[in-house]
Every structure is written in structure tokens, then in C-alpha cells.
Amino acid sequence: MKFDEFRISIEPHLRDSSKWIVRVRHCSLPVPALLEEPFVCEPLVTRQDLDQLRNNRVHPDPTTLKELGQRVFQTMLPHLSWAYRHCYETAQRKGKGLRLTVSRLGTTAMGPPLAAGPITIGIDELPIEAAFHKTFSFIAASPKTPVSWAVAAKPDRDAKPVAAPLRVLTVISEPRHHPPVAGNAEKKAILKSLGPLLTNNAVVVNFCHPPTFQELRLRLQEGYHVLHFIGHGAFNAIPADQIPQPHLYFEDDKRRSRPVDGEQLYMALTSSNVPLVVLTACSTAAPSPRFPNHYPGLAFEGLAQALVERQAGPSAVVAMQFDIENEAARVFSSAFYEKLLTTPDCTVDGAAAEARSALLAEFGAHNRAWLTPSVYSRCRDGRVFRLEKLRSRLTNNKRAALLPIDTKLQAYRENQEDIASQKIPEIRAALRSTRQHNELVIQQLVKDRARVFGNLVSLYGGHTGPDGTIECVLTLSLGAAGVIDDARVSFRESTEFEFVRGACGRDVPEARFRNLPDLPLEVVVHHMSGGRVWDVAPEYEIATLTFRLTDTSDKSLYDIKLAEARIQFNGKWRNFDTQDGIVFGSEATAATISE
């Protein structure tokens, strides 16, 4: 969906600290005076209101939440509900939605809490996501009316063009002595929502393991478009500054908690140019506490605000302003990514609105889960990146050379499957020599296919043994001579095979194999060519891998699929083409597994 924009700014009143000034910065109304008139408002949201939203033990009842939402709306749009309604109706007639963007120009100067009476909140604490109007209901919960924070009066970032695959790096951090975050459930929800895109290599999701800050800094250098942190966030005081600052909790090498603040995270992101950061961690969007009893804070002192306001920071951050329950985080991530990455021209605030709608439907309006996600953006039109169509790296000549090979390969595969489908033992025995001949032809066609590509990572399989194990070889081919430094090859998850062990290939100094529960297998090699220039001609052996067949069906062919190959070639990270491994089953194998 496309959107018109209703953009406002809120700033402190210079003469009266108890009031704010609201200005309309952009809207579709042809009324110039509206854009010049400052509207004075008195904040109607109190400290007690905010404390009620932050209470993770008791959720506000629907009536109380609506009344709070009405006060939020009246605070943001004093005497301006008519203008918002008119712009919404105009957008609807054009088949569009209406985006509400709120920028904070400064913050309110708050003193220590008074002994009695309601205490007003700072501008940076206004829960704009709770805004309610009887005509629109809860505005932020509707995909037609997304709501987001901005860092300036006018957005200044264009959508970043991204050639497929779009790369997502996910960190699941669960330090010892911290509550579990159900990261695996959230991981599975993300992968399920992106299933077709992952299959077509339009999107690649990798996981940072171990979930240490040092490993994150290394992984970001490989080039990613989205960083998603799943874990815990809170306020921590550091010795040099006793004012608590927002932190994310990574793990160290002994799974102890390692707090990382916004400045450290910003420095890690600066050189990698990640346009979108998603933080499903509690308190990552909340401003910093300045006084013991409440959290007025300064604008952009939360992690999300601090990252987006920096000139070299990400274009947008989606973060949690209240504690979020594990199940709510799973629902949010699934709905957010499904909308953002599967819908053409989707905006980040539109995807967040879709996720809020899913949370509201799942848990009810009284549950604050749908209020928790906050969007901080400086993107024009709300778009973080522009996904370009998936383009092949093959030239026309290579495509023409592959066509007859792939045609033959498909024909021989189908013939093998026909032989395997025969149920009569005598017929299967008579066709055994044909089956063996087909296997030899398929192996040769796979080698012929590899010669057509330039830069290619291939997995070569073979026959399963009587115990169901199969030895495979992972190789690298080059289209041009060069120095190969680091490499990372990831496999797709499989229900047919399990990884048993791996060993370093004959041409590399060392290889590491990461095979953790609920995470895909990765092969990691550092300083692959040892600083030497590798030529084009040979295939270089990266690793040998042993898998065990877990599928009990009597198939003649299996595929061990590669997900992605990232190679540091002459100092630059590149995507190499991949060729899956073909494994030949055997009747003896199937019988052994079934016993």
C-alpha cells in the first residue's frame, strides 16, 4: 500500500515548561496557514499513565487504554483532528493509507518528581502508538494508518537499492542467569514467513554464533542489509558515567552477560552500512532514566533513537519500548518480515503496523504487546530499501552452455526415480545395471556443469554406505585468479540428512564446522589461500563432510542443499554461485535404516 503523509513536530514551549508546541510540517491540505501556525498544547498524559503501560504484571483494561489513547491523540493533534480526518479521507479516495510521522525537536526539561500531583512526561516518552480516535480506533494498529517517530522535521534518506539476495543477520543471545528468550521459536517464525524467498535465494538469513559482540563485528563486515537482535536489553550504569544507559546483553565466550551500549553498537554498524536494525529486546526503545523514580530522559538516548539520529547510522530501527513476552516477539517477527519482504514496495512503518495488527488479533487490545514495537525512521516514503529483481549472475553464453547439461541431468534423474519406484524385486534387479550407468552419467554431468560457472562452490556426493553415511567433498572454483582470504558456506536445513563430522580439505589450512541445534550447518575457513594467488584451472578442496541419511524412504536420489557461499576474494566479500550435492541412495541403506 502507498501512503500520503501527515507529518508533525513536537517541541518544548520556551516560555511555559508545562506546555508543548505542535506544528504541522507536511500534509495534503492546501492550507498554507496550517503549516505556519504553532499549536500550543498541554500534555494530557501523566507519569501514572506511563507507569501503567510499563507494568508487566497487570494489563490496562480496554476502556482505560482507550481513554489514555484519546489523551495521546489530543496531545499530538490539538485542535487538528479535523485536518487529520480530512487527509485520511483524501488518501482513501486515492486508494492510499495515511502515515503519521512525529518528530521531536528537543525535549522537555524535567526536574525531580514532586511529592504530590500528576507528573507530566517528557516529549520523548509520549506513547504515540497508543493514539486512539473514535473514528479510527487505535491508529497505529491499522495497516492503513502507520505511526512512527522521526529524527528531524523532514526525512532525508532514500531507499537503498538492494540486489538479491537481501541478507539478514540474526543474533540470538541468551546469557547465563538471564531468562530464556525463546529465540529458536522466533527464528523458526522468521524462516517460515520467508519460506518462498529463501527457496528462491531472494533472501538469506544467517545466524551469528557465538552470539558475542566480537563475532558480530566480524560478521557485519561480510555485508548485511538487516541486523536482528533477539535477547535482553536494559539500563546499566557504567563507572565513568553513573547515569544508567541503555544496553543490549550479548554473551561472552563463557556465556556470561556482556553489556553493549549504543555507542559501541553504532561503531560496529558504521563501517557495515546496515540500513535496518530490528531489536526484539525489552526496553530497547525506552529513553534513559535520569531520576530514580521515573524515566523522563533525553530524546534519542534509547538505543533505537541513538542509532537513527547519527548521520552514519541505520536508516531505520524497529525496537521495543516496553518488555515484550517471548510469544509476542515470535508473532511480531513473523508478521513484520512477511509483510516487509514479501510485499512489493512495503514500508517499514507499514510492516510494523501489520505486525501490531497481528499482535492485537492474537492477544487482544487490552494486552500491551501491540503497543510495544516502535519505529524510528529517517526514510523518505518510509522505504528502507528497494528490492531489485533477482538477477542471475550467468551470462547468456553460460546459460546456453548449461541448457543441454541441465536438460540431460533432469532426464537421468527422472529415469532414476522411475527405477526406484518399481515395487517388484525382479524388475529392480534387472534394472540395477541401468541404475549404475545413470549414476555415472549424473556424476559426469555435475562435473560438466561446474566447468561452465566461473566462481562456484560445489558439494560432491556419492553413494550412501550400508549404515546410511555418505562422504562429501566441498570445493571452490574460480573464474579469475585471486587471493582468497575468508569464506563462509552455509547449508539449508534438511530432514533427510544429519551432519556427522567434518575435516579440513587438502587445499586449506583450517576449516571450522558449526553445527548447533536448530541452526543450519556452516563451514568457516580463514586465510584460505594463505596469501597466495589461486589460479583458475583446478578445483580447490575446502572440506570433507560426512552426513548420515535419516530418511527412511527408498529414494534413488537425495540433494544436500547449499544456502549461500560468501567468499572474500581479493579483499572484497562476494556471493559465489553454489551447486548442491547429489547423493545416491541404495536398497541396502534403506533396509538398514528401517530395521
Q: Is residue 227 over pLDDT 90?
A: yes
What letters, b where the CB count within 10 A reaches 16 and e where it falls short, cover 565-593? bbbbbeeeeebbbbbbbbbbbbeebbeeb
Helix pair 262-270, 213-220: axis angle to 10 deg: 30
**Least confident segment among 94-108, 230-244, 474-488:** 230-244
Higher pLDDT, 551 or 138: 138
Q: Kindly report, residue by residue over 36-85, the tens digit of the pLDDT.
A: 789 999 899 988 888 888 777 777 888 999 999 999 999 999 889 999 99
Residues 6+ apart with CB under 8 A from 512: 523, 524, 525
Over residues 223-227, mean pLDDT: 94
- Alpha-carbon gap, residue 537 to 479, rounded angstroms: 9
- Alpha-carbon gap, residue 12 to 41, rounded angstroms: 10
Residues 6+ apart with CB under 8 A from 344: 387
Q: Kindly report, residue by residue over 200-210, the tens digit of the pLDDT.
A: 778 899 999 99
Over residues 402-428, mean pLDDT: 88
Instruction: Show the domains of the chain with their CATH numbers.
Output: 3-108+116-150 (no CATH), 160-289+302-337+371-387 (3.40.50.720), 453-594 (2.60.40.680)
pLDDT score, position 540: 95
Q: Kindly report, residue by residue over 408-418, the tens digit of the pLDDT.
A: 999 999 888 88
Under DSSP, is residue 166 helix (H, G, I), strand (E, B) or coil? strand
Higher pLDDT, 139 or 288: 139
Side-chain half-sphere of 160: how many Cα atoms within 13 Å?
17
Give how far Cα 405 sits from Cα of 283, 412, 417, Å: 55, 11, 18
Helix pair 183-193, 326-342: axis angle to 10 deg: 20
**Percent over 70 (pLDDT), the chain:** 89
- Closest by alpha carbon to 192, among 182, 178, 203, 177? 203
Side-chain half-sphere of 533: how many Cα atoms within 13 Å?
6
Residue type, 176: R
What does residue 44 show for φ and ψ, rounded to 5 degrees?
-100, 0
Looking at the DSSP bridge assignments, the partners of residue 120 are 46
- Alpha-carbon gap, residue 96 to 118, rounded angstroms: 40
- Closest by alpha carbon to 317, among 266, 353, 346, 275? 275
- Alpha-carbon gap, residue 177 to 401, rounded angstroms: 58
pLDDT score, position 113: 40
By the 8 A CB rule, do 350 and 129 touch? Answer: no
Q: Kindly report, residue by residue over 319-375, the tens digit of the pLDDT.
A: 988 878 888 888 999 999 999 988 888 899 999 999 999 999 999 988 889 998 999
Confidence of residue 237 (pLDDT cuts 50, 70, 90): low
Cis peptide leading into 287, omega within 30 of 0? no
Confidence of residue 117 (pLDDT cuts 50, 70, 90): very low
